Amino acid sequence: MAIKQQTMLWYWVAMIILVLVLAQSYFLKPQTTTIPYSDFKTLLAAGKVREATVGRSTIDAEIDIQGTDKLLPAAEYHAIAAESRTQTAPELRQIVTDRVQDPQLTSELQAAHVRFSGSVQSTWLSTLLAWVLPIAVIMLMWGWLMRKGMGGAGMGSVMGIGQSKAKVYVETATGVRFADVAGIDEAKAELEEVVQFLRDPQRFRRLGGKIPKGVLIVGAPGTGKTLLAKAVAGEAGVPFLSISGSEFVEMFVGVGAARVRDLFAQAQQRAPCIIFIDELDALGKARGITGVGGNDEREQTLNQLLVQMDGFDSQRGVIILAATNRPEILDPALLRPGRFDRHVAVDRPDVKGREAILKVHAKGVVLAPDVDLAVVAAKTPGFAGADLANIINEAALHAAREGKTAVQMADLEEAIDRVIAGLEKRNRIMNPKEKETVAYHESGHALVAESRPHADRVSKISIIPRGIAALGYTQQLPTEERYLLKRSELLDRLDVLLGGRVAEELVYGDVSTGAQDDLRRATDMARHMITQYGMSERLGQVTFDAPRQGAFLAVPEMPQQVTYSEETARLIDEEIARLIRESHERVTQTLSEQRGTLEALARLLLEKEVVDRPALDALLKAARSAPAAAGTPPAGAARAAPA
């Protein structure tokens, strides 16, 4: 791309130079016949010169053509005579001659009563052509280059330093409304407040309302983060300034920072408005994460962003929305209060949501009566909004190719297969067996949480893949904010973490790799209990050097300086293993006792993909009132406090 642009550039430069040369030679070409100096002298001596303008190197003169045919060579006479006449008299002609070093000239001109003047050599036209025009052209090209070359490497970006105007996409009206965004209602609801504020910043200010400066929209690619941000702008009726994080990061140190400044300056002018930074992770990666040396440019850009976010006054109605699918690698400084302190999660849609999204995109498409979008939704677990939009589009194209008048179910099926094939390559679709495993795994977590008095209540279970690592999740809402945790509470949490793995063991007699994160967290927790909180009888009330917490940053851990003996180290390891082993036993018992409920919950999950609190309550209630299933004691019995 860059190479092509450069060739184009040189082509243009050549064209412009050519035009200039032609123009110069045309306009500056003497309109008069050039004659030898000797002939000029002859004419002067003969009294034929009327007026003369003595320039630095030439003399322009007006001569009387009459009677000069004897004085001049024939060819020259005819050339002069053929020149267009001056207005003053029919016999007058203009000639020009090259000036020769001639001290007598002035006196001779005087003697011949010629009106003469000094150099007025360059007329305004020639000045214009020779100087002003080329400069104007060069400046035009400069501007053009700046605009063209902003993004690409090479010449363009060198010239465009600090001028981000070209890459900030400004939409005065996005035209997207909340109605165009389907299936992510929770995220929409959370952004409703931002819309209210942008509509009427004055009102919020008067009431002393505090408005977030930055909202981070977190979600997998194609889940509609950009769409959502545009919808906020559309609903509020404010301009939408967008730029991608990766565009900030340039080769040249300082460019990105200048762009950030420029972006914010533009936003201030257009307030109220929305700044949308896509791929925030590209520029907001934690500092130091790249290892030795780091990336100076990115760091400068990030620092500039932080400075600008702190510096500007959100009360004027500028709100920064940013999108990322990797919040965990963001620099913690970006997430501090006053920056991106609000997070809105955008999940892949569930069955209902998928149907709603399909409906939105099917609006402009003629559907045959046999089409049931609910069926399409059921067949597309794990699809994001963009994938669903793609399906409708593919189906419409397919139908058109076949010459149909409406999109039929067969077209949609075909499109699903196609999109699935594409997604499978990118590893984003679970096969049914995997899905079942995840359903049991999450049901295990949920049931253990519900069986432990000190564990947080389950608010939602989902087997919709989220992000790269998590295939499903069980969400627990703490009943209250906790600062101190008792040993019994920590043990209950440990149990919940192991619930997923144990459920897999019970159901399949085998385990999967899906519990890796659970096990890491369980081990971490056990290690903390023993080395930090003094919760081990064998080791006593002692703390040991903290394992360096890399909780948020994926910074490779530094080698630890160990300050305890090998013997103690072995003891610590033993104690950790014991805690985990005991927890494993407790959880195995709990889940075996509730095997029937586990099966029922997993089946419900497979069907609905998401089970919320009311659905879970209903299921648990049914299980309690019908404990008939083999060996399932009443739920109350399973609540035995952990050892």
- Which tokens is 345 given? 């999660």
Residue 223 binds which of Zn ion, ligand ADP, none (CB < 5-8 A, kind-dependent): ligand ADP
Could you give the CA distance from residue 524 to residue 528 in angstroms, rounded to a whole number?
6
**Residue 500 is a binding residue for ligand ADP (CB under 6 A):** no
**Residue 362 is a binding residue for ligand ADP (CB under 6 A):** no
The 485-524 site mask, x for binding Zn ion (CB under 5 A), equals ---------------x-----------------x------
Q: Alpha carbon of 392 to those of 177, 223, 411: distances in Å?
A: 20, 16, 9
Phi, psi of 252 (to 5 degrees): -100, 130
- Identify which of residues 160 and 222 has a Cβ nearer to ligand ADP in the complex: 222
**Residue 385 is a binding residue for ligand ADP (CB under 6 A):** yes
Q: Alpha carbon of 248 to those of 163, 239, 288, 484, 597: distances in Å?
A: 12, 21, 18, 43, 52
**Residue 184 is a binding residue for ligand ADP (CB under 6 A):** yes
**Residue 386 is a binding residue for ligand ADP (CB under 6 A):** yes
**Shortest spacing between CB 445 and Zn ion, in angstroms:** 6
> Among residues 44, 182, 286, 449, which is the contact residue for ligand ADP, using CB under 6 A?
182
Catalytic hit among 247, 442, 504, 593: 442
Asked if 304 and 260 touch (Cβ cutoff 8 Å), the reply is yes
Tokens 């002298």 locate to 41
Other Cβ atoms closer than 10 A to 258: 20
**Residue 465 is a binding residue for ligand ADP (CB under 6 A):** no
Residue 500 binds which of Zn ion, ligand ADP, none (CB < 5-8 A, kind-dependent): Zn ion
Consecutive H or E run containing 215: strand 214-219
**Shortest spacing between CB 289 and ligand ADP, in angstroms:** 23
- Side by side, the strands of the sheet bearing 58-64 are 33-35, 92-98, 58-64, 49-54, 115-117
> Among residues 219, 382, 465, 500, which is the contact residue for ligand ADP, using CB under 6 A?
219
Asked if 500 and 476 touch (Cβ cutoff 8 Å), the reply is no
For residue 332, cis peptide bond before it (omega within 30 degrees of 0):
no
**Shortest spacing between CB 181 and ligand ADP, in angstroms:** 5
- Identify which of residues 187 and 579 has a Cβ nearer to ligand ADP in the complex: 187
**Residue 465 is a binding residue for Zn ion (CB under 5 A):** no
- Identify which of residues 223 and 308 has a Cβ nearer to ligand ADP in the complex: 223
**Residue 221 is a binding residue for ligand ADP (CB under 6 A):** yes
**Residue 323 is a binding residue for ligand ADP (CB under 6 A):** yes
- Using the rule CB under 6 A, give the single segment among 135-143, 215-223, 410-418, 461-469 that binds ligand ADP: 215-223
- Which tokens is 94 given? 């203009």
**Residue 472 is a binding residue for Zn ion (CB under 5 A):** no
Residue 362 binds which of Zn ion, ligand ADP, none (CB < 5-8 A, kind-dependent): none
Could you give the CA distance from residue 212 to residue 320 in angstroms, rounded to a whole number?
9
Helix axes 595-608, 487-508, angle to 10 degrees: 80
The 604-633 site mask, x for binding ligand ADP (CB under 6 A), equals ------------------------------
Going by C-alpha positions, the residue among 381, 168, 414, 426 that lies closest to residue 274 is: 168
**Shortest spacing between CB 441 and Zn ion, in angstroms:** 5
- Identify which of residues 170 and 386 has a Cβ nearer to ligand ADP in the complex: 386
Number of residues that bind ligand ADP (CB under 6 A): 18
**Residue 441 is a binding residue for ligand ADP (CB under 6 A):** no
**Shortest spacing between CB 346 and ligand ADP, in angstroms:** 7
**Shortest spacing between CB 234 and ligand ADP, in angstroms:** 13
Going by C-alpha positions, the residue among 373, 379, 375, 349 that lies closest to residue 361 is: 373
Strands 115-117 and 273-278: unpaired
- Identify which of residues 284 and 444 has a Cβ nearer to Zn ion in the complex: 444
Going by C-alpha positions, the residue among 427, 433, 425, 435 that lies closest to residue 381 is: 435
**Shortest spacing between CB 221 and ligand ADP, in angstroms:** 5
- Identify which of residues 46 and 470 has a Cβ nearer to ligand ADP in the complex: 470
> Among residues 224, 245, 256, 272, which is the contact residue for ligand ADP, using CB under 6 A?
224
Helix axes 225-236, 185-199, angle to 10 degrees: 30
The question of whether 171 is a catalytic residue gets the answer no
Cβ contacts of 287-290, under 8 Å, gap ≥ 24: 287/331, 287/333, 288/555, 289/329, 289/553, 289/554, 289/555
Could you give the CA distance from residue 587 to residue 577 in angstroms, rounded to a whole number?
15
Residue 169 pairs with which residues in a beta bridge? 242
- Identify which of residues 182 and 371 has a Cβ nearer to ligand ADP in the complex: 182
The 227-266 site mask, x for binding ligand ADP (CB under 6 A), equals x---------------------------------------
Per the rule left: phi > 0, alpha: psi between -120 and 50, beta: everything else, 317 is left
> Among residues 32, 94, 97, 226, which is the contact residue for ligand ADP, using CB under 6 A?
226
Could you give the CA distance from residue 275 to residue 608 in angstroms, rounded to a whole number?
37
- Identify which of residues 350 and 518 has a Cβ nearer to Zn ion in the complex: 518
> Among residues 306, 309, 357, 399, which is the contact residue for ligand ADP, using CB under 6 A?
357
Catalytic residues: 442
Which residues make up the interface to Zn ion (CB under 5 A)? 500, 518
Which residues make up the interface to ligand ADP (CB under 6 A)? 181-184, 219, 221-227, 323, 357, 360, 385-386, 389
